[in-house]
A and B are shown apart, each in its own frame.
Chain A
Amino acid sequence: MMINGKDLLGIEELSKKEIEVILKTADSMKEISERKIKKVPYLRGKTVVNLFFESSTRTLASFALAEKRLSADSFNLSSSSSSVLKGETLLDTVRNLEAMKIDFVVIRHPMPGAPHFVAKRIKASVINAGDGTHEHPTQALLDLMSLKQKLGTIAGKKVIIIGDILHSRVARSNIWGLKKMGAEVSVCGPPTLIPYKMEDMGIKVFYNLNEALADKDVIYVLRIQKERQEGGLLPSLREYIKIYGITPERLKNAKKDVVIMHPGPINRGIELDPRIADGKHSIILNQVTNGVAVRMAILYLLSGGEGDEDSK
């Protein structure tokens, strides 16, 4: 069980019970960020490395703040300013960091499975901050927390995820999380960007947006990841906006109190119209606030966890 384990690698491995414990802990952590002195001494003397091999604003800032608010010592390493540029391998990098007695590695990497690979080989706790197109567990947890706050419960709610499902680690983690919490999940996007056999996971697939929005409680808009569109799977951004962009006109087909979510960064005017991003349906900035609390909860729950016997 992850609560007594050492790593957080994905939502797929978590049980519903564990997700509930994380959300409850995060709910308690939230208050700390509202104090005048936003700090508790819990992780005093522990060292955290934020190892980011891909760019990030929210996730990196959120982890860094979570670490500081729990009194851990932390620093950031990015591929562009480290010896990765000189050809050092991932494993050598983390083994060298471990030789300096660190306690946690928060890792973002373009290769799916990179955090899992590292976690098996070091004693420090590993937290996946996004591994390629695979998982982004802390994002899904902060999304679940935000939804629970907004709607009271997740079970039975109809959630649709819109956009590039194929390349989205956010979609993957959220689908696992939402389904475990009992939500009804569907997806909508260009057929080229919907993975094969989604229906077998119990997920409804829509290609017509108007039809898709009709009865949904939550619309989760994904970012069009320009960096992962090399294969010509999208004819043009203009066509995407026209068919899948979420605009005020489009929302006329949705429930009056529909909730709009987005993991950030927003491509304003592409997947999401600015009037919706900043409008009354949006809980996008609540998601960001909750991100710090969720990451504090994960650090708390993993601290002092025992490493596997076989990890070196």
Chain B
Amino acid sequence: MTTREKGTVMDAIQIKRALMRISHEILERNGGAEKLVIIGIRARGDSLAGRIKNYIKNIESIDIPLGVLDITLYRDDFTSINSKPIVGKTEIPFDVTGRIVILIDDVLYTGRTIRSALDAIIDFGRPKEIQLAVLLDRGHRELPIRPDYVGKNVPTSENEHIEVKVEEVDGEDRVILREVKDDD
């Protein structure tokens, strides 16, 4: 299987603008940052979560608690993957009970990752509310899950792939649309 780059969906500036807008929307919808906590999904969602935390700090001068979630142990497809993903650390150093959790991921696709993340968060306590923010929504949901905040809607076909690169992990900020081809 090979992939071919079809173009840049978002560049660094567009990513920054989208995340800043989402930060404002989070504050507007929740009337401030009082009860908020942010949880990013490994890997990439946690980087975006860190940035949204910083934007909100710049806007409201409030430090929102930041957590990182690894959902590997909550997946529903583990028997079908041959090589095991490395389990990353989950770090949620605060009580989520009674808080509004802003859950952050890079791409929303089938919704299965988010389903796993919801299960995981509820194991940590009983949040008042969970809201979902994603940088990209590419459609093709398989579960009844919808985002509350979206950076960009990107209609895709199922033989396309969205690759998100973030400075913290990949050394650059860029979202790339790829076409997946079977070699045979």
Tally of A-B Cβ pairs under 8 angstroms: 50
Contact, CB under 8 Å: A21 / B86: yes
Give the distance in Å from the alpha carbon of A40 to the alpha carbon of B78 in the complex.
13
Chain B residues in 8 Å Cβ range of A40: 73-74, 120, 123
- Residue in A21, A35, A42 whose CB lies within 8 Å of B74: A42
Contact, CB under 8 Å: A3 / B91: no
- Residue in A21, A27, A42, A70 whose CB lies within 8 Å of B89: A27
Closest CB-CB distance, A165 to chain B, in whole Å? Answer: 35
Give the distance in Å from the alpha carbon of A24 to the alpha carbon of B86 in the complex.
8
State whether the Cβ of B79 lies closer than 8 Å to any Cβ in chain A: yes
Give the distance in Å from the alpha carbon of A301 to the alpha carbon of B84 in the complex.
7
Chain A residues in 8 Å Cβ range of B86: 21, 24-25, 28
Q: A28-B70, A36-B125, A42-B73 are in contact. Are A3 and B90 (CB under 8 A)?
A: no
Residues 78-110 (chain B) with a chain A CB within 8 angstroms: 78-79, 81-84, 86-91
State whether the Cβ of B5 lies closer than 8 Å to any Cβ in chain A: no
Contact, CB under 8 Å: A29 / B91: no
Closest CB-CB distance, A269 to chain B, in whole Å? Answer: 40
State whether the Cβ of A31 lies closer than 8 Å to any Cβ in chain B: yes
Residues 35-89 (chain A) with a chain B CB within 8 angstroms: 35-37, 39-42, 70
State whether the Cβ of A192 lies closer than 8 Å to any Cβ in chain B: no
State whether the Cβ of A304 lies closer than 8 Å to any Cβ in chain B: yes
Closest CB-CB distance, B166 to chain A, in whole Å? Answer: 21
Give the distance in Å from the alpha carbon of A31 to the alpha carbon of B87 in the complex.
12
Give the distance in Å from the alpha carbon of A35 to the alpha carbon of B91 in the complex.
10
State whether the Cβ of A4 lies closer than 8 Å to any Cβ in chain B: yes
- B residues adjacent to A (C-beta < 8 A): 70, 72-74, 78-79, 81-84, 86-91, 119-120, 123-125
Interface pairs (7), CB distance under 8 Å:
A4-B82, A25-B86, A28-B89, A31-B90, A42-B78, A297-B87, A304-B84
